[in-house]
Structure formats: C-alpha cells, structure tokens
Amino acid sequence: MKELFPRKQVMGFVFSLVLTAAALLVYFLDMSFAVGMTVLLVTAFIQAGLQFIVFMHAGETEDKGLIFTNIYYGLIIALVTVFGTLLAMVWGYV
Amino acid sequence: MKTDNTMPLEYKTEQSRLNIFGFWIFLGAEIMLFGTLFASYFTLEGRTGSGPTGAEIFEITPVLVETFLLLTSSFTIGLGVHAMRIANKKAMLAFFSITLILGLGFLGFEIFEFIHYVHEGAGLQASAFTSILLTTLGTHGAHVTFGLFWGLFIILQVKKRGLTPETANKSFIFSLYWHFLDVVWIFIFSFIYLKGMM
Amino acid sequence: MDFFDRFAIPHPSPIIYASMVAIGLTVIAIVAGLTYFKKWGYLWREWITTVDHKRIGIMYLLSALLMLFRGGVDALMMRAQTAVPENTLLEAQHYNEIFTTHGVVMIIFMAMAFIIALMNFVVPLQIGARDVAFPRLNNLSFWLYFMGAMLFNLSFVIGGSPSAGWTSYFPLAGNEFSESVGTNYYMLAIQISGIGTLMTGINFIATILKMRAPGMTLMKMPMFTWSALITNLIIVFAFPVLTVALAMGTMDRLFGSNFFTTSDGGMDMLWANLFWVWGHPEVYILILPAFGIYSEIIPTFARRNLYGYKSMVASMVLISLLSFFVWVHHFFTMGQGALVNSIFSISTMAIAVPTGIKIFNWLFTLWKGKIKITVPMLYSLGFLPIFTIGGVTGVMLGMSAADYQYHNTMFLVAHFHLVIIPGVVFAMIAGMTYWWPKMFGFMLNERIGKWTFWFIAGGTCLAFFPMFISGLDGQARRMYTYSEATGFGIWNMLSFIGALGLAAGFILIVYNVYYSTRYASRDIGDDPWDARSLEWATHNPVPEYNFAITPQVNSSEAFWDSKKNGHKLFKGPFKEIHMPNNSGMPFIMSILFFVLGFALVFSLWIVAIISLIGVFACLAHRSFEKDHGYHISVEEIEKTEAERGGAEHENR
C-alpha cells in the first residue's frame, strides 16, 4: 500500500491544501486590496508551479529546457496580454 | 521504431515522446486561451450594468467544495500515473476512476452553481460581467466535461489492452491535461472568486 | 417558405447572380469531369486522405492560389469603383462587402495558406525528416482551413457576405448594425480555419524541435526553418486570443451576451483590443516566413553564404517577443491617454530595429556576391527597396501623435499594402518559383517569370504610392465614393491602372504554369538552382519517404558542403522505413465542422447539435483506433532509388 503513495506527491498535495487555506485568509480576514492581491498572487503562482513540477513531471526528460521555455513564454505573453489590456482598456483612460 | 528502455513506459517510442512534447506545446496555447479570458474578465469585471456584482452572487461554500474536489482529483491522478509507472494496473485504474468521480462531483457542483446564478438574475445576457463570468467558468467546465469522456475512454482502453507503451502514453497525456485544468482552477479560485469576495 | 427566406442574399445585384451561375457551372463541371475520367478514387486515396506533408503542402498551395484570385477580383472591383469620382458601378453595401471579404480572404485564406503551403513542403525536407511530427493532424489542419475558407466564400451566394470590414469592429459588427448573417459567417469561418492553423503551429514546433537530422543543432538549421519555428511559436500563442475573441463575438450575435455591446456594461473597444492582440502578431506570422524565404534565395543566387546568421536568428526571436508588445498602435485614436499611447509607440518603433538588422544582413550578403538574376532573385531584389518604403511609413504611423493625422486614411492602406505585398506576396511567388522544381519536377519559365515580375512590381508601386498622397490629403479608407471637388480622382485613377497591372501579372503567373507544364524540360536533375540546403539533396520528384537514408549534417549549409567540401551526407546501408497510414477521418471531421459552422450561421440548432456530436464521435473513434502505420522494405527503397537516382546516387 505504501508504495502507492509516494512521499513527494503526498507532500505536494498537503502543501497545495495549505496554500489554498492561506489564500482563503483574504476572505476571512479583513485586508487591504493590495495585501490581499499579494497573498493571492503568491499562493496561486506557487501552487501552479507545484502542479507543473511535482504532478506533471515537467522536468523529468531531456526536453525539460524546451518545456519550461514554452511555459515561461506562454506565461510572459499571457501576463503582457492581461496587463496590456488593463492598461489600454481600464487604467489608461484619464 | 526506436525504443528507449531507460525511460518510463509512456516515453518508450519516438512517436510517444513526440506526443507528450506536442501536448506540452498545446498546453502553452491553453495558457494563452485562459490568459485572454482572464484579460477580458478583469476588463469587464466592474461593468455590471443593471445586473448583479460578483460580491452579490458568489458563495464561498460551493466554491470551496469545488476547489477541494478538483485539487484532490489532481492528486489522485498523480497517484494513478505513479501506479502506472510501477506497473500496478489495478491501482492505476482505481486512481483514474476516483479522479473521474471527483471530476463528476466538481461538475455537478458547478452546474448547481450556474443554476443558482441564473436564479439570481445573473444569466449570460444580464451584463458584460455575467457574460464573461459564465464564459470563463463555462470554458473551464467544458474542458472538465471533455476530460471526463476522454478519461473514460482511457480507462476502457487500459482495461482491455493492458499497459502498453501506447495506452501508457495516452494515460500520461491525459494526466497532463487534468493537472492543467487544476492549475486553471487555482487561478479562477483566486482571481475570480476570492478577489471578488475580498 | 419563411424558413428558406433566411438563405436569400439581402442585397442582390446582377454581378452576384452571374457569380452564382458561374459557381454552379464550375461545380457541375468539376463533378462531371471527375466522374467521366473516373478520378474520384484517385482523388480520395492519393490526395484527400493523404498524410504526406508534400501533398498537403501542394493542396495548401492550390487553395491559396484560388483564394488569391477571389481576393484579387474583390480588389479590382474596389479600385474600379473608386477610379472616378461619384462612380455608380457598385452600391455602398456591395462595396462594404467587397472590402471586407478582400481583407479576410487575402490575410486568412490566401497569405496564411501560402506560408503554410511552403512550410509544409519545405521544412521536413530541410531538416532531413520523413514527415511532420503528427502527419494525420496535418491533414486535419488542412481540411479545417479549407472548410473554413469554403464556408466563408459560401456567404457570397447564401445569406450575404460580411460587411463590417476585415477587422469587424463592434458595435458595427453587432446584430443592430449588421443584420444579415454575413458577420456570423465571418466569426465561424475564421474560427474553424483558426483551429486548423493552431494545430499546424503545434505540429511544426514539435517537428522542428524534435525531428532534425543528426548533427543539425538549432544554430545549424537553415534560415527558412528558423523562420518557420518562430512563426509557429507566434501562431501557438496568438491564435488562442483570436479563438476567444471570435467565440465572444459569436455569442454576442447568437446568444445575446453583452461582451461588445453598448448596453449593460458591454465594451465595444475590447473587441478591437483582443482582435489586435492577435492581429499584430499575425502580421509577423505572415512576414517572418517571407524573411526566411528571402534568406534562402539571396545566398543561393548571390553565391555567398548568408551574412550574419546569428543576428538573423536573434532578430527573429526578438521580433517574436516584441510582436506581442505593440498591438495598441492599431487604435491610438480610441481614447486611451498619452501615457498608454507613448508606451506602445516606443515599443512599436523598437520593433523596427530587428527588422532593420535583417535588411542590412541581406544587403551585406549581396555585397561582393556573384549575383545571378533569376526570377526568385528578382523578387528578392524588388522586395528590399519597396518593403523598406512600406516599413518606414509604418514607423511614421507608429508615432502616436502623428497617427491622428494618418489614422484610417488611404495613407495607412498604402503603408500596409506596401509591406505586405513585397513582404509576403513577392516572397510567396519567389518561393513558389524557387521550390517549384522540387514540387513538380520542372521549372517555371524564366522569361515569362521576369515579365510577370515587372508587371507585379510596377503594378504594386503604381497602385499604392498614389494612396500616400490622397491619404495625406484626407481621403478616408473604406469610402465607396467621393466628390470631384476633393481632387482624389487622379490618384485613384492611377491606383486603378496599377491594379490592372497587378491583375495582368497574376494572369501571367497562370499562363506560366500552363506554359511550363506543357513545354518545360523534365530533365533538370535534383538541384537545378545549385542551391545550398538539404531539400535539394533528395530526388526529383521527392520519394514519399523523402530521404532513403537520414542525412548527417555538419553545418547550416550541409548540402553545399557535400557538393563543394566533400562532406558525406548519407552514410550507412538502407533500412526499413516506417510510414504513417492515410486516413479519411480528418476529412469527415472537417465536413462535420463545416456543417456545424453553417448551422450556427443560420441558428439551425438541431443540425448544429448533431454535427457537434459527430465531431466528438470522430474524436472518440480516434482515441480507440489502433493505427501503427506501415513499413517500406529495403527492396522497395532500393528499387525507388535506382529508378529516380542517376549515377550520382549509387555510391551512397
């Protein structure tokens, strides 16, 4: 039975539950918008990284470099799109 | 066909390594798909017109249940792939089945949530905010639904054909898809629900 | 009869009726011809179900040429309508439809198909691969593109064409101002072919990154392959944006959602934003493969290796990133503040730097080269000055303060045609001429080709330079007519003459294909241009397995080294070759997509649901299918090689 539950994955699961709980603090505690968003950004991105590395084995083959480049590239472009859109559509109107 | 015995079963043939790599590229495109949805969501978030705002319709309980179900299903499919790698077909099938049941539970709650929104007057047509909210959640939900069928087909194939390089390859790719849906949900959970209720 | 009313054309005219008859007759002629010559089986087995990248490339090429003529006729009619003031050749609505379909057809269905055609044919050969990474997906990509294109063209005869411009800005494209189903066609047809393009992107990234011949490191890839890699990278990250935008637009039109409406919080500007988040990278998707083609042609005919290989690669990588940072320059006048405009203005001008680097690299390659003027080279030489003029006017438009003067005028139209025609169209014709012998086993006639070049290059300059002037004088784009007092008449007449020159050039291309098919020599060897990269190292015509033995590569010009420096490309004995099977499923699935799209255009929900289930059934079938391909035996390879190869190949 024990061999079916590798330590790494169990720890990963526990850690993601802890991060979810930490994110929930923004709901239960009274925080300013800036602090709340910081908490959410930190917990969300750590959890995403956890999934990619622990569960999806992104770094297990020789293609590691290419796979991470692909994900980082996608992430950068996605962030540029999100913030660029907000800049042009919401914040930029004066 | 070239084979490589130092790697797990799912990486055994040239074509299966290509399949896995190609799927990673596809996930890159998916990042952009959801990135665009988030960009639109943040833009339209405050534009509620005569409809309700997020804070008015979001409820923490179903969201928490959904989050827990999907997070756990991501864990169990990870265990499924691990079982596959130690060639324990029975355990693998069990974990994959649990994953799908959890996914089904998630979907049930999401449908319940959608019905609730429509009752609250937050249907697709109510405002720009509700349009983008339901579209973003719906796109993720449609991915989960698609995954349920896909996962079912994988289970049937592993059951019938056993763990071959081919079925193992398909199972691994499916696990990548399923984990990715969890990643997307983490962002939906954080930046749609929690941000909206903060 | 109410049910059938929806299929009628809202603004019929004799031209449309004549086209309907022409389309009907063509279809009947094709069906009758195929039946009479008993070619249905051949068509199905050898082409429709093929997974061979070379044949898929040729099918893309034919579709692209077909679309070039559709879009070209639209262009001619536009220029004819505006040739004189107060012209009554076309009505306003008809003119709107024509400039809309001209843009969509030329960008999405002509230029995209043309670059993908050349990538399909050339890239696997250049990297010494047997096929692409996912051959069947490649077939699906083609058929999705093709069905999307056909669905779009169907709007012309059933239900009415879209008329909100190729950018289809809301609220004009919303139900309120675009009542006909035309814009539904726009949303769904582009969606379907966009899915195909996205799959091409994934396919080619996997192919280029994972299937290169031994010894071909990234920095030893031929430049066209590099450009294809970067292009597909942009495709993979840009097309999902279009997918989302089109889905939102479709929902607004069909399901009454409020993304881009002007009520209930909807934001019409968001459409423009998302459209250009895709649309600007799209410009680079089109231009980078063209740069790649020129980087193959110029060294070949300047008889020198490419100057500044590393800076060429670096500038393309930089362009791929920067292309996602500049999209706001398409709507500087929409009302965002000076800060936002300044940021995007600067990033826009920054992208001119890597482009400039490339121009200088080509010039330095030509410097002291032994230049041989062939048709592909002629287009490359014509490209440099005309593209530079188009490019620097782009920098003018990129200055946000000045853009208020140029925005939405003919100046803009002149700018983007003068980059896209020498950039993309010249490159495509040059590439087609250059690789034609590999595709079909004979060369296009050089004399006719040179005449064609002068018609096309001259036509381009004459058609678009006058627009700079009329644009600065204030002629807005997309106006179906103007009064005599504006003084635009002379410039538009010159444009019309230029357009006729272009048309003559394109007719000459068709004549050249006909003439060369009939009279050109078939005895041209494997390497008629004395070229430098691997695609010329295999036979003419290329065997289905491309290379009997996988080549060993030592530099970015491995074939040149094997010819001049004694590098041995093919080592070792023949081995059995594994090949993928053909499949009819992608075609069936694409037909279902076509039906789905058509049903959604006309809100035929039951048909839509059935065809959607059909699509999923195809996917399920694929999941359960066992398909291990087949093997070509050593004897067969020996036979093919002996047939196609001369003495030169015996020692391999």
Domains of chain A: which residue ranges?
Answer: 1-56, 60-94
User: Which pLDDT belongs to residue C141?
Assistant: 96
Residues from chain B that touch A17, judged by Cβ atoms under 8 A, are: 71
Among candidates B128, B150, B170 on the partner chain, residue whose Cβ is nearest the Cβ of C264: B128
The mean pLDDT of C25-29, rounded to a whole number, is: 90
Residue C467: both structure tokens together: 């627009």
User: Which pLDDT belongs to residue B3?
Assistant: 53
The shortest C-alpha distance from C166 to chain A (Å) reads: 21
Q: What percent of chain C has pLDDT over 90?
A: 80
Confidence bin at A1 (pLDDT 50/70/90): confident
In the predicted structure, residue C649 carries a pLDDT above the cut 50: no
Contact call for C270 and B40, based on CB within 8 A: yes
> Which of A57-71, C54-68, C594-608 shows the lowest per-residue confidence on average (mean pLDDT)?
A57-71
Contact call for residues C253 and C259 (beta carbons, < 8 A): no
Cα distances (Å, whole numbers) of residue C237 to C122, C132, C612: 23, 20, 26
Contact call for residues C224 and C122 (beta carbons, < 8 A): yes
In the predicted structure, residue C1 carries a pLDDT above the cut 60: no
Contact call for C270 and A89, based on CB within 8 A: yes
B85-88, long-range: CB within 8 Å, 24+ apart, which pairs? B85/B8, B85/B9, B86/A3, B86/A4, B87/B9, B87/B163, B88/A4
Q: Report yes or no on C6 lying in a domain.
A: yes
User: Which pLDDT belongs to residue B5?
Assistant: 61
User: Which pLDDT belongs to residue C478?
Assistant: 92
Contact call for C337 and A94, based on CB within 8 A: yes
Neighbours of chain B (3+ CB pairs under 8 A): A, C
Residues from chain C that touch A91, judged by Cβ atoms under 8 A, are: 340
Q: Report yes or no on C611 lying in a domain.
A: no
Contact call for residues C64 and C117 (beta carbons, < 8 A): yes
> Which of A29-33, B139-143, C380-384, C619-623 shows the lowest per-residue confidence on average (mean pLDDT)?
A29-33
Would you write out chain B's pLDDT as a tens digit for each of its 198 residues?
A: 445 567 788 888 888 999 999 999 999 999 999 999 999 999 999 999 888 999 999 999 999 999 999 999 999 999 999 999 999 999 999 999 999 999 999 999 999 999 999 999 999 999 999 999 999 999 999 999 999 999 999 999 999 999 999 999 999 999 999 999 999 999 999 999 999 988
Q: Could you count the other beta carbons within 10 Å of the beta carbon of residue A30? A: 7
Count of H helices and E strands in chain A? 3, 0
CA–CA dist C638, B183 (Å, integer): 52
Contact call for residues C580 and C136 (beta carbons, < 8 A): yes
User: Which pLDDT belongs to residue B198?
Assistant: 83
Contact call for A66 and C325, based on CB within 8 A: no
Domains of chain B: which residue ranges?
Answer: 9-38+60-197
User: Which pLDDT belongs to residue B114?
Assistant: 95
Residues 248-277 of C with CB under 8 A from A: 267, 269-270, 273-274, 277
Residues from chain C that touch A67, judged by Cβ atoms under 8 A, are: none
Contact call for residues C584 and C44 (beta carbons, < 8 A): yes
pLDDT digits (tens, 9 = 90+) for C287-334: 999 999 999 999 999 998 899 999 999 999 999 999 999 999 999 998
Q: Which domain holds residue C441?
A: 2-583+627-649
Burial class (CB in 10 A: 0-12, 13-18, 19+), A46: middle
In the predicted structure, residue C652 carries a pLDDT above the cut 50: no
The shortest C-alpha distance from C214 to chain B (Å) reads: 14
Contact call for residues C105 and C152 (beta carbons, < 8 A): yes
pTM of the model: 0.94
- Residues whose CB is less than 8 angstroms from the CB of residue A45 and which lie 6 or more positions away in sequence, other chains included: none
Contact call for B43 and A24, based on CB within 8 A: no
In the predicted structure, residue C648 carries a pLDDT above the cut 80: no
Contact call for C337 and A88, based on CB within 8 A: no
Do you know the residue count of chain B? 198
Which ranges of C331-374 would DSSP assign to H, the alpha helix? Answer: 338-366
pLDDT digits (tens, 9 = 90+) for C36-84: 998 899 999 899 999 999 999 999 999 999 999 999 999 999 999 999 9
User: Which residue from A minimizes the CA distance to C236?
Assistant: A74
Q: For chain C, what is the mean pLDDT?
A: 92
CA angle A77, B178, B22 (to 5 degrees): 55
Q: Mutate one of B183, B187, B193 to test the A interface: name it (highest A CB count within 10 A).
A: B183
Maximal CA-CA distance, chain B = 63
Q: Report yes or no on C85 lying in a domain.
A: yes
Maximal CA-CA distance, chain C = 78
Instruction: Return the closest-CA partner of residue C323 out of C296, C297, C364, C355.
Output: C355
Question: Does any CB of chain C come closer than 8 Å to the CB of residue A21?
Answer: no
- Residues whose CB is less than 8 angstroms from the CB of residue B175 and which lie 6 or more positions away in sequence, other chains included: A55, A56, B77, B78, B80, B81
Residues 49-78 of B with CB under 8 A from C: 49-51
The shortest C-alpha distance from A87 to chain B (Å) reads: 10
Residues from chain C that touch B48, judged by Cβ atoms under 8 A, are: 265
The mean pLDDT of C370-383, rounded to a whole number, is: 95
Beta bridge partners of C476: C409
The shortest C-alpha distance from A78 to chain B (Å) reads: 5
The shortest C-alpha distance from C280 to chain B (Å) reads: 15
Among candidates C237, C248, C270 on the partner chain, residue whose Cβ is nearest the Cβ of B28: C237
In the predicted structure, residue C113 carries a pLDDT above the cut 90: yes
- Prediction ipTM score: 0.94
Domain spanning B9-38+60-197: CATH 2.40.50.100: no
Q: How many domains does chain C have?
A: 1
CB environment C426-445: b (16+ within 10 A), e (fewer): bbbbbbbbbbbbbbbebbbb
Question: Does any CB of chain A come closer than 8 Å to the CB of residue C202?
Answer: no
